[in-house]
Amino acid sequence: MTTQEKLAMLEEIMELESGSLNAGTKLEDLEEWNSMAALALIALMDEEFNKILTGKQIKEFKTVQDILDFME
Amino acid sequence: MGLDNFVLLSRGRRVVLYFQLLIISKSGIACAVPSTKEILIEKYADVFGEENVKKFSKMTGIFSRYTTIQEQTASDLSYEAAKHLINKKNIQLATIGAIVFVTQTPDYRLPSSACVLHKRLNLSKDCMAFDVNLGCSGYVYGLQILSSLMASSNIERGLLLAGDTLTKSCAPKDSSSCMLFGDAGSATLLERTDEKRCIQMGFRTDGNRFKAIIIPAGAYRNSDSPHERVLWGDGNVRSDYDLYMNGTDVFTFTITEVPLLISEFMDKTNTKPDNYDSFVMHQANLFILKQVAKRCKISMDKMLISMDRYGNTSVTSIPLTMADKYGDNNYGSSKMLMSGFGIGLSWGAVSAEVDTRDIYSILETDSFFKEGSVSRD
- Does residue B40 register a pLDDT over 60? yes
Tell me the pLDDT tens digit for each residue of B98-134. 999 999 999 999 999 999 999 999 999 999 999 999 9
Same domain, B30 and B147: yes
**Position B229 in a domain:** yes
> CA B254 to CA B257: how far, in whole Å?
6
Summarize the confidence of residues B135-164 as an average pLDDT.
95
B70 confidence band (pLDDT: 50, 70, 90): very high
Q: If we measure between CA atoms, which residue out of B296, B341, B358, B38 comes closest to residue B205?
A: B341
CA-based radius of gyration for chain B:
20
**Position B370 in a domain:** no
> CA B114 to CA B352: how far, in whole Å?
25
Tell me the pLDDT tens digit for each residue of A19-69. 989 999 999 998 888 888 888 899 899 888 988 888 889 989 999 999 999
Question: What b-and-e string marks burial along B75-114, b requiring 16 or more CB atoms within 10 Å of the CB?
Answer: bbbbbbbbbbbbeebebeeebbbbbbbbbbbbbeeeebbb
| pLDDT for residue B12 | 40
Q: If we measure between CA atoms, which residue out of B183, B99, B137 comes closest to residue B364?
A: B183
| pLDDT for residue B153 | 92
List beta partners, residue B213: B245
Check if the beta carbon of residue B28 is closer than 8 Å to that of residue B88.
Answer: yes
Summarize the confidence of residues B246-266 as an average pLDDT.
92
Q: Is B136 a catalytic residue?
A: yes
B23 confidence band (pLDDT: 50, 70, 90): low
Please report, for residues A17, A37, A42, B43, the alpha-carbon distance to residue A20 in angstroms, rounded to integers and kept in the order given. 6, 16, 21, 33
Tell me the pLDDT tens digit for each residue of B296-345. 999 999 999 999 999 999 999 999 999 999 998 889 999 999 999 999 99
Q: Is B154 a catalytic residue?
A: no
B158 — phi, psi (to 5°)? -135, 150
Query: Quick check: A1 contacting B, CB < 8 Å?
Result: no
Point out the domain boundary residue: B198, B227, B255: B198
| Contacts across the A-B interface (CB distance below 8 Å) | 40
Point out the domain boundary residue: B198, B227, B254: B198
Tell me the pLDDT tens digit for each residue of B294-309. 999 999 999 999 999 9
* Structural domain containing residue B296: 201-358
Q: Which domains does chain A have, with CATH numbers?
A: 3-71 (1.10.1200.10)
**Position B62 in a domain:** yes
Percent of chain B having pLDDT more than 90?
83
The answer to whether B248 contacts A52, with C-beta atoms less than 8 Å apart, is no
Contacts of A52 in chain B (CB under 8 A): 252, 256
Same domain, B334 and B191: no
Query: Quick check: B211 contacting A, CB < 8 Å?
Result: no
| pLDDT for residue B5 | 37
Same domain, B239 and B173: no
Same domain, B194 and B205: no
**Position B111 in a domain:** yes
**Nearest-CA residue of chain A relative to B246?**
A55
Q: What DSSP assignment string belongs to B12-48? A: SSS--EEEEESSEEEEEEEEEE-SEEEEHHHHHHHHH
**Nearest-CA residue of chain B relative to A58?**
B248
Quote ipTM for the complex. Answer: 0.80
Query: Quick check: B251 contacting A, CB < 8 Å?
Result: yes
Summarize the confidence of residues B245-267 as an average pLDDT.
92
Check if the beta carbon of residue B99 is closer than 8 Å to that of residue B149.
Answer: no
Same domain, B62 and B211: no
**Position B365 in a domain:** no
- Does residue B7 register a pLDDT over 60? no
Summarize the confidence of residues B207-227 as an average pLDDT.
96
Residues in chain A: 72
Q: Is B312 a catalytic residue?
A: yes
Averaged pLDDT of chain B: 92
Running DSSP on this structure, what letter comes out for residue B312?
A: B
> CA B19 to CA B6: how far, in whole Å?
8
| pLDDT for residue B122 | 98
Query: Quick check: A43 contacting B, CB < 8 Å?
Result: yes
Query: Quick check: A30 contacting B, CB < 8 Å?
Result: no
Point out the domain boundary residue: B198, B214, B236: B198
| pLDDT for residue A52 | 87
- Does residue B184 register a pLDDT over 60? yes
- Does residue B243 register a pLDDT over 50? yes
- What residues contact residue B103 under an 8 Å CB cut-off, 6+ apart? B74, B75, B78, B113, B131, B132, B133, B138, B161, B162, B163, B164, B315
**Which domain CATH number covers B184?**
3.40.47.10
Running DSSP on this structure, what letter comes out for residue B213?
A: E
Same domain, B234 and B246: yes
**Nearest-CA residue of chain B relative to A47?**
B295
| pLDDT for residue B22 | 66
**Position B139 in a domain:** yes
B234 confidence band (pLDDT: 50, 70, 90): confident
- Does residue B196 register a pLDDT over 90? no
| pLDDT for residue B14 | 52
CA B364 to the chain's CA centroid: 18
> CA B183 to CA B318: how far, in whole Å?
13
Contacts of B249 in chain A (CB under 8 A): 54-55
> CA B366 to CA B72: how far, in whole Å?
7
Lowest mean pLDDT among A11-15, B17-21, B106-110, B131-135: B17-21
Running DSSP on this structure, what letter comes out for residue B223?
A: T
CA dihedral A12, A16, A21, A27 (to 10 degrees): -100
